[in-house]
Structure 1
Amino acid sequence: MTTAFSPEQVDRIIEMAWEDRTPFDAIKIQFGLSQGDVEKLMRKELKQASFKRWRKRVSSGIGVKHRCKADPDMLRFKCSRQRAISGNRISKR
């Protein structure tokens, strides 16, 4: 993880990582972070208890954070602010 992100970008990455239906592939496409890089960022930015809770959710048998493991009938979540996000930047509101 060599790229420095703005606080807004870090917040967005964390938000995407917490969303069950947002796969790691989407984070990789938008921010260039692999699953391991996301885990490192989460470990650095979250409190220890929050990180453990997130890690337990991600590593549980659900498998929704990976498109190939997720139920094909599952609809992907789209953030209510998705329209306002353009090029990884949140536009003026």
Structure 2
Amino acid sequence: MNQTLKSADISRIIEMAWEDRTPFEAILQLYGLPEQEVIKLMRREMKAGSFRLWRARVSGRKTKHHALRDPGILRAYCPTQYKPR
């Protein structure tokens, strides 16, 4: 895994991994971490119970894997997700 990740980057990767509509490919493109490395990071950074919940949620989820997504979905997140503060 890329050892140069900053704390803010790790937090953002965790946030993206939790988001239902953010595919692992988006994390790979932004941070260079393939799915297996994201799983390792999540296992290391989260409590065991939280990690198990997350794995149960994302395993086989179509929206987390670009190849399984509906081709009509061209974005990684809902347009209303990021609102100005």
Give the shorter-chain TM-score range. 0.7 to 0.9
In 1, the alpha carbon distance for the partners of 2:8 and 2:76 equals 23
1:53 aligns with 2:53: yes
> Relative to structure 1, is the Cα distance of residues 71 and 44 closer, same or farther in structure 2, using a 3 angstrom cutoff?
same
Structure 1 unmatched runs, 5+? 84-92
TM-score, normalised via structure 2 length: 0.83
Indicate the SS of the match to 1:68: helix
CA contact (8 A) 2:16 2:22 kept: yes
Structure 2 unmatched runs, 5+? none
Higher strand share: 1
**Within 5 Å, which residues of 2 pair with 1:1-93?**
1-59=1-59, 61-74=60-73, 76-78=76-78, 79-80=81-82
Aligned partner of 1:67: which letter? H
Structure 1 stretches of 4+ with a deviation exceeding 6 A read none
TM-fit CA distance, 1:64: 1.2
TM-fit CA distance, 1:19: 0.5
TM-score, normalised via structure 1 length: 0.77
Percent identical across equivalent pairs?
Answer: 46
TM-fit CA distance, 1:18: 0.4
In 2, the alpha carbon distance for the partners of 1:76 and 1:29 equals 12
Higher helix share: 2
RMSD, matched Cα: 2.0
In 1, the alpha carbon distance for the partners of 2:27 and 2:76 equals 14
TM-fit CA distance, 1:70: 1.4
